[in-house]
Amino acid sequence: MFAALFDASGRRMPIDRLAIVASALPNPTQVFAAGANVAFIKSPTGEAADIDSCLKPPSGGPTGLIGRIRLDRRSTLRERLGAASGASDADLLIGAYERWGDDFLRHVRGDYCFVLVDSPRRRLIAARDQLGVRALFYARRGDLWLISDSLDWLAAQWPRRPDLDEYWIGDFLTLGHSREFRRTVYRDIHRVPPGHCLQLDERDNSLRRYWQLEIAEPLHLKHAGEYAERFRELMAEAISDRLPKGTVGIAMSGGIDSTSLAALSIELKKDASQVVAECIHYKRLMNVGEDRYARLAARDIGIDLVVRPFDDLVYDQSWRSRGIAAAEP
């Protein structure tokens, strides 16, 4: 998990408080100042490897950023910013802020939740991606703002369990989800909605929408085959943005979608041995030959496939002992 603490009074962040916060987290938790009244926390809980952070000496621009970030079309963004080929996603976000100011989020796409600190202007911006793939929460206790991707961590900062939000619970019991993006199961802990950013400074705070879905004009091409070619180009670009280093796993059926993802992953990796697949299917409940078609596709594109019957795995009888517990239902 990661977190940011922002003192809206402008006072320097109390070191003793940070030490108490860090002592409750697994080692090696990192706590570091990102400005006079801002501190970042980075803990190895969960997917710590994909937490990106960047601190720069004050130079008239933003001085720090921390978050979970995966940007789309990095090469295009690097070209627009004149950034080095090795620039991280955090570097690119800071560069976008320096170039476009408050409009920088309109120029980036991807899956992310992050906190950016603008020390010269003594303000903080916390943003969540357009579709809300990454979660981001915030709360206020007096002059201290707390922002994190972990709802559990925020709840633990209260002396006792925070009061529950009856509206959220009512929505969950009747609809299965909350109708208001900003609410959480806790009354005093809020969620940054998708496509929104929270802006804090010593005088004010605001939650604003920076993106909404726009329906583009229909695409008209001369030949029918060009639509498939264009779709293939866009799908390859999207896969390239998301491919991890090393081996990639595909949940593969015998249909068109997952087999296309597997084939394009091989093409982009240039090595079929770095792509593996698993097919889960029902042998007794509804045997539609999913495993047969998946085997044919895997053999044709040259990858290893593990076939797993799913009839007896729908209900995991050991789920209570696996330690899988979400912050909310």
Strand partners, 275: 248
Nearest to 91 by CA among 130, 52, 125: 52
What is the model's pTM?
0.86
Which pLDDT belongs to residue 15? Answer: 59
Q: Average pLDDT for consecutive 10-residue bins of the chain (329 residues)?
A: 88 65 64 79 67 70 86 93 91 93 95 92 93 95 92 89 94 92 95 96 91 90 94 94 91 92 95 94 85 94 92 74 75
First to last CA, the chain: 19
In whole angstroms, give the CA distance from residue 8 to residue 274.
Answer: 49
Which pLDDT belongs to residue 18? Answer: 64
Q: How far is CA 149 from CA 113, 120, 309, 329, in A?
A: 7, 25, 35, 16
Nearest to 199 by CA among 131, 143, 118: 118
In 42-127, where does DSSP find H-type helix? 74-81, 89-100
Which pLDDT belongs to residue 276? Answer: 95
Strand partners, 117: 64, 124
Residues 234 and 261: beta-carbon distance below 8 Å: no
Which pLDDT belongs to residue 25? Answer: 66
Nearest to 156 by CA among 43, 66, 67, 33: 43
Give the start-end residues of each E strand in 29-82. Answer: 30-35, 38-42, 51-55, 64-71
Nearest to 191 by CA among 205, 178, 200: 178
Q: In this structure, what DSSP letter does residue 186 have?
A: B
In whole angstroms, give the CA distance from residue 95 to residue 72.
Answer: 15
Which pLDDT belongs to residue 23? Answer: 60
**Adjacency order of strands within the sheet including 64-71:** 51-55, 64-71, 110-118, 123-128, 196-201, 205-209
In whole angstroms, give the CA distance from residue 254 to residue 288.
Answer: 10
- What tokens were used for 329? 């239902």
Q: In this structure, what DSSP letter does residue 162 have?
A: P
| Phi, psi for 152 (deg, rounded to 5) | -60, -40
Q: How far is CA 189 from CA 8, 141, 164, 184, in A?
A: 17, 10, 9, 6
Which pLDDT belongs to residue 312? Answer: 79
